[in-house]
Amino acid sequence: MIFQIKNKNAYKSIEHLLKFTGTNPVIQGVMDGRNPGRIYVDNLRKPAAALVWAINEMFFLIGEADITQFNNYLKQLFLSEIKPEAMEIKEEMINLETYPYEQWQSTVREIFSDGMGIGQRVPFIFNEIIFSKQPPIEIPDGYKIKIINRDTLLEDMENVILKEILKFWPSAMDFLSQGIGICSIKDQTVVGTCISAFAGRHDHEIGINTYSAAHRGKGLGKAMAREFISICIKRGIIPHWTTEDFRKDSIAIAKKAGFIQLPNYPVYFLPFKELL
């Protein structure tokens, strides 16, 4: 059987399973109740395996991969419960990381016989010394880089920032009290954001976007990331950056923002519409 942990105060019952994942602010953000998500386990009192759904971001299978009573119900859980709700909020893709990866390989193939694709995630580790040596960034005239606060949200008439925040946070107030955010503005229009997409205790996962091709290639991403990271350092927060191998712009920005690229690791993916 699979059980959903409905009391968020009990999410920490999976904390011992995080030995398989290392420091992961996405999982930590869900587990600590800061960011929206759900946790399903094989046993409510002493979980040996867990499925973590970080809404609008990622699914994680963690722990022992050979628990039959858990694995046998996983696909049905996705079909009957997760798929309808995910598609309602326009989360169209299953992106799935497994820890430890090697142990889950055959299990994932058996459960998702629809044919999961396998992509590559690109992780980075932050190095403050490298960050401190980066040259200043100049952005074109007409653009502004601003910290996201209550005033910025009120000035954003198209609610670009709010929509981005609510993908990952229960409310704007939760974000403002626990997250960090930077935006880029042109002609009073928000054209880019860099926010704490997920927040662990002392670790924040960066989510960065420049929304139109017309504003890319102008240094806005680097400028937003630089300001975001400066605030992290002042607050004693470790910034995290993870992306996909095909997102060349994201990889380039990370390298110019004080991050060192680590070895890629696999991620499974399948459009929900192909899950039958």
Query: Using one digit for the tens of pLDDT, what is the confidence trace for 112-135?
Result: 876 899 999 999 999 999 999 999
- May I ask the CATH class of domain 3-121+266-274? alpha beta
pLDDT at 22: 86
Residue 69 has pLDDT above 70, yes or no: yes
Handedness of CA 97, 98, 101, 107 (dihedral sign): negative
What mean pLDDT comes out for the span 246-260?
A: 96
pLDDT at 112: 87
Give the H/E segment covering residue 161.
helix 160-166
Higher pLDDT, 276 or 76: 76
In CATH terms, is domain 128-257 a member of 3.40.630.30? yes
Residue whose pair of structure tokens reads 């502004």 in the numeric block: 144
| Model confidence pLDDT, tens digit, residues 78-107 | 999 999 999 999 999 999 999 999 999 999
Whole-angstrom distance, CA of residue 220 vs CA of residue 204: 20
Residue 237 has pLDDT above 90, yes or no: yes
Structure tokens at 96: 């799935």
Whole-angstrom distance, CA of residue 231 vs CA of residue 166: 21
pLDDT at 67: 96
| CATH topology agreement for domains 3-121+266-274 and 128-257 | yes
What are the sequence ranges of the domains in the chain?
A: 3-121+266-274, 128-257
